[in-house]
């Protein structure tokens, strides 16, 4: 959905500058309109900043609209420079995102991503069982998407799929590779939602925390997300078996061990060390939710916070020497692994969220009045379903983090007015913004999907809407059924 400037007077360059002008006009001009009661002049400026930056995210790019948004918060958003920097780049969530990127880049650098996916599909129980092989293959993509991100997971999955097709004799246009090219993106994209301290989940959850001052329990969130992913994985296989019905006979004689042509399943000592650090990361981030509150480990982990945990592991890995060089080469991992656009998006969202929640803006009151028809006649269940459906729809044409951030004030205002726990609608939004694989603008992995020679637009548009609807329905059922029990 972004517009890229090119050299020369091309139509795309003209469109770029038109979008740029519109973005700036909304950011700095919307606040000049007469305030719409109960919005105050500050509230009008904040709404203008948000809408303008959101427009820039959709039609231009993430980086410079986010930076302009930060400047606008100082110029017309009522924030002092020191306060702004403390709440943006100084925010622990923003810093944690940076170090998570560095950590994940290290996982990819040492080849653990391919090991994880190959390890799943080379188990003996999948030999001669094509649909079990498919189920395990997709499960590995869910895990890989959770541990890294959707785009690299999809690329690794496709490379393995191409090897399967070469060994089995599948060609472009055949039913099985066409189904699996889409299925790999689906699994990778949904899998990103499992771990709440990754990219979009962290962005959305931190926006809600800034608004409400309350946290969503990571362990409970991960339990719900993992169950949703497991069910979706199984349902996709059932859809493939009984609706898509590709030719599976060629898979029956596949020996998965032949797919490991580069020896990726033989871990070196260094790779085993990285794997230990990966398990430590997950364990230490979740430990405070399970250990006794007065246990010294719990007190230590809470004292440094989630950001401190990631920094600690990154520091230890950078300290360890292998053949005279750091185990984690910090500069190289920053250069190759940090997605600065997401860091800047989050750095803008954090201070904006706190300002929008301020009573002096009138935004919370405005949202409550705007949702009065829904709050008056709809139940919390209906609200949860609708907000999830809206999130899944908007994320097909907008950045998923931006969609989640935009919906958090709505969720916060509704839950506060209705006096209901916020966990269910918040988790519904976080999950549904990951179902971004219909249009090329939905996500980076969706753009890769539409550019893949093994898939065509017709098959994508025939498959994706059905899968998105079923996934949304599964998400709603699991969240409603389990959410009421564990929250």
> Which of 201, 189, 191 is CA-nearest to residue 93?
201
CA distances from 355 to 134, 276, 346, 375 (A): 48, 41, 15, 24
Give kind and range of the element (H or E) at residue 287: none
Q: What does the alpha-carbon distance between residue 198 and residue 193 come to, in Å, rounded to a whole number?
A: 8
For residue 373, the model assigns a pLDDT of 65
How many CB atoms are located within 10 Å of the residue 315 CB?
A: 14
How many CB atoms are located within 10 Å of the residue 231 CB?
A: 16
> What does the pLDDT look like over 161-200, one tens digit per residue?
988 888 888 998 899 999 999 999 999 999 989 988 777 8
Q: What does the alpha-carbon distance between residue 50 and residue 405 come to, in Å, rounded to a whole number?
A: 10
CA distances from 16 to 5, 59, 69, 151 (A): 6, 8, 18, 26
Q: Cβ neighbours of residue 119 under 8 Å, at least 6 residues apart?
A: 140, 265
For residue 6, the model assigns a pLDDT of 36
For residue 5, the model assigns a pLDDT of 35
> Which of 373, 415, 411, 374 is CA-nearest to residue 391?
411
The 3-state DSSP class for residue 359 equals helix
Could you give the dihedral angle defined by the CA atoms of residues 73, 79, 85 and 87, in that order, rounded to the nearest 10 degrees?
-100
Q: Are 209 and 444 in contact (CB under 8 A)?
A: no
- pTM of the predicted protein model: 0.72
Low-confidence ranges of the chain (pLDDT < 50): 1-11
Which burial class, exposed, middle or buried, applies to 7 when counting CB atoms under 10 A from its CB (0-12, 13-18, 19+)? Answer: exposed
Q: Left if phi > 0, otherwise alpha if psi is -120 to 50, otherwise beta: which for 324? A: left
For residue 8, the model assigns a pLDDT of 40
Q: What angle do CA 433, 480, 149 make, to 5 degrees?
A: 30
> What does the pLDDT look like over 441-461, one tens digit per residue?
677 788 778 878 888 878 888
Q: What does the alpha-carbon distance between residue 267 and residue 72 come to, in Å, rounded to a whole number?
A: 50
For residue 441, the model assigns a pLDDT of 62
Q: Are 426 and 208 in contact (CB under 8 A)?
A: yes
> Which of 239, 270, 237 is CA-nearest to residue 141?
237
What would the two tokens of residue 374 be?
Answer: 């829904």
Q: Cβ neighbours of residue 145 under 8 Å, at least 6 residues apart?
A: 153, 187, 188, 189, 190, 191, 192, 194
Q: What does the alpha-carbon distance between residue 376 and residue 392 come to, in Å, rounded to a whole number?
A: 24
Q: What does the alpha-carbon distance between residue 90 and residue 33 come to, in Å, rounded to a whole number?
A: 32
Quickly count helices (H) and strands (E) in the chain: 22, 2
Orientation angle between helical segments 175-191 and 218-239, nearest 10 degrees: 170
Q: What does the alpha-carbon distance between residue 86 and residue 422 come to, in Å, rounded to a whole number?
A: 27
> Which of 337, 323, 336 is CA-nearest to residue 273?
323
């Amino acid at each position: 959905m972004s517009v890229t400037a090119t050299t020369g007077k091309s139509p795309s360059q003209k469109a770029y500058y038109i979008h740029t002008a519109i973005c700036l006009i909304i950011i700095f001009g919307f606040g000049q309109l007469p305030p719409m009661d109960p919005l105050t002049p500050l509230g009008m400026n904040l709404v203008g900043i948000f809408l303008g930056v959101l427009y820039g995210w959709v039609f231009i790019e993430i980086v410079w609209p986010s930076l302009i948004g930060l400047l606008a918060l100082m110029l017309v958003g009522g924030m002092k420079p020191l306060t702004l920097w403390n709440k943006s780049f100084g925010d622990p969530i923003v810093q944690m995102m940076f170090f998570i990127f560095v950590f994940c880049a290290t996982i990819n650098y040492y080849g653990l991503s391919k090991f994880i996916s190959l390890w799943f599909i080379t188990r003996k129980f999948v030999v001669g069982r094509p649909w079990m092989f498919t189920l395990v293959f997709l499960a590995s993509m869910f895990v890989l998407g959770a541990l890294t991100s959707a785009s690299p997971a999809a690329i690794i999955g496709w490379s393995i799929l191409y090897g399967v097709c070469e060994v089995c004799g599948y060609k472009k246009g055949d039913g099985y590779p066409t189904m699996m090219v889409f299925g790999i993106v689906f699994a990778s994209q949904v899998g990103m939602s499992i771990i709440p301290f990754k990219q979009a989940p962290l962005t959305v959850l931190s926006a809600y925390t800034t608004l409400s001052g309350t946290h969503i329990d990571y362990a409970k969130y991960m339990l719900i997300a993992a169950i949703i992913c497991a069910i979706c994985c199984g349902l996709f296989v059932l859809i493939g078996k009984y609706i898509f019905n590709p030719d599976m006979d060629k898979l029956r004689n596949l020996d998965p061990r032949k797919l490991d042509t580069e020896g990726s399943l033989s871990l070196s000592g260094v790779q085993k060390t990285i794997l230990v650090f990966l398990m430590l990361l997950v364990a230490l981030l979740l430990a405070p939710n399970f250990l006794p509150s007065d246990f010294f480990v719990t007190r230590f982990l809470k004292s440094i916070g989630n950001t401190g945990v990631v920094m600690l592991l990154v520091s230890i890995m950078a300290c360890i020497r292998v053949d005279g060089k750091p185990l984690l080469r910090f500069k190289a991992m920053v250069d190759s692994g940090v997605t600065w656009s997401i860091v800047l998006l989050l750095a803008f969202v954090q201070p904006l969220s706190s300002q929008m929640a301020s009573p002096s803006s009138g935004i919370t009151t405005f949202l409550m009045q705007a949702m009065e028809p829904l709050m008056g006649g709809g139940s919390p269940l209906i609200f949860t379903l609708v907000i999830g459906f809206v999130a899944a729809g908007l994320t097909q044409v907008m950045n998923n983090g931006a969609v989640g951030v935009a919906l958090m004030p709505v969720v916060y205002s509704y839950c506060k007015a209705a006096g209901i726990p916020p966990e269910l609608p918040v988790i519904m939004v976080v999950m549904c913004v990951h179902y971004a694989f219909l249009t090329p603008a939905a996500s980076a992995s969706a753009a890769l999907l539409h550019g893949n020679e093994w898939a065509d637009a017709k098959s994508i548009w025939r498959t994706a809407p059905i899968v998105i609807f079923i996934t949304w329905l599964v998400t709603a059922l699991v969240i409603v059924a389990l959410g009421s029990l564990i929250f």
